[in-house]
Amino acid sequence: MEYTRLGRSGLSVSRLVLGTMNFGSRTSEEDSGAVMDHAHEHGINFFDTANSYGAQQGEGLTEQILGRWFAQGGGRREKTVLATKVYLPMGDRPNERGLSALHIRRAVDASLKRLQTDYIDLYQMHHIDRDTPWEEIWEAFSVLRQQGKVLYFGSSNFAGWHIALAQEAARSRHFLGLVSEQSIYNLMSRWAELEVLPAARHYGLGVIPWSPLHGGVLSGVLRKQREGLTGRSGSGLWAAAFAEQREAVEAYEKLCAELGEDPAHVGLAWLLAQDGVTGPIVGPRTVEQLDGTLRALEITLDHDTLAKLDKTFPPPAPNGAKPAPEAYAW
């Protein structure tokens, strides 16, 4: 396994991040435990979850599954860099959502109880809260760090200017601020390159891409269709994305075949080659799927292949190979 620092922090994390969103909904607790054990066996130490993950609102089922797995001992918690999130509704009352100091205090205590641990390594804001001032948010977070309940803080789904606002507010308090941003980023969704990635690099945030295969569209969807297999890419948002870029997906799968590599592995390898990316989140439902993702760490994409991928899935602006504002100006 390869490791890197999480942003400008001194924390070492694996270059593949184990996503747990399927645990408790699409993956049984027994199978979830097997996947996590297998991840440790391969050196994956960075696990991502959220208090909102699970079948029912407010139950935090996925966190509970992790907590019971940690409780089995064997150094499971000590070997894990644990990341969870706060923001989404955990109930119907008005103060059971968002990033108010009240909700943050209640949410972190509830997550700690479900996770059966006394601290969280990385506490991430699941979304920007436009109604809560940064002074309140950083005050609440500084208390959590003083109490030893949280070590590092991160964001998710932030725009580049949100990152700047957060970091400048933290700087005014002489606080470390954010060390990571979790953003949708993949070959088919490259908007993060305009503002989010430049802002993250400037402020020293590690970027953690979610949906690295665009809901499965980049995992060989055409081949799977020929083989009679289906997945998330066959419905909803991902189906629309596939329909819009079918020709590009065809060219992509042809290029992967020429390379002799699985499309899913190439998609992950491309992300690992991007400046500022800490590691993509992989969400395997089975041990076998987890094993498959490890191949991405062994693939080195040369300049010619990267250029072909840029041609197949162009950056989001005519001059998109450059950072903003040159990407859309001069």
For 139-154, give the DSSP string.
HHHHHHHHTTSEEEEE
- CA atoms 252, 288, 115, 206: torsion sign: negative
Spatial CB neighbours of 258, under 8 Å, sequence gap ≥ 6: none
- Strands 12-14 and 17-19 turn out to be unpaired
For 78-129, give the DSSP string.
TT-EEEEEE-S-SSSSTTSSSS-HHHHHHHHHHHHHHHT-S-EEEEEESS--
- Strands 150-156 and 178-184 turn out to be parallel
Selected catalytic residue, list 53, 87, 123, 252: 53
What is the distance between the alpha carbons of residues 142 and 170, in angstroms, rounded to a whole number? 10
Candidates 205, 202, 151; CA nearest to 178 is: 205
What is the distance between the alpha carbons of residues 103 and 310, in angstroms, rounded to a whole number? 43
Which parts of 178-300 fold into alpha helices (H)? Answer: 196-203, 221-226, 236-244, 246-259, 263-272, 287-293
Give the CA count within 13 Å in the CB-facing half-sphere of 239.
Answer: 7
| Bond preceding residue 325 cis, omega within 30 of 0 | yes
Judge whether 138 and 175 are in contact, CB under 8 Å: yes
Tokens encoding 88: 């989404």
Spatial CB neighbours of 26, under 8 Å, sequence gap ≥ 6: 285
87 is catalytic: no
Active-site amino acid positions: 53
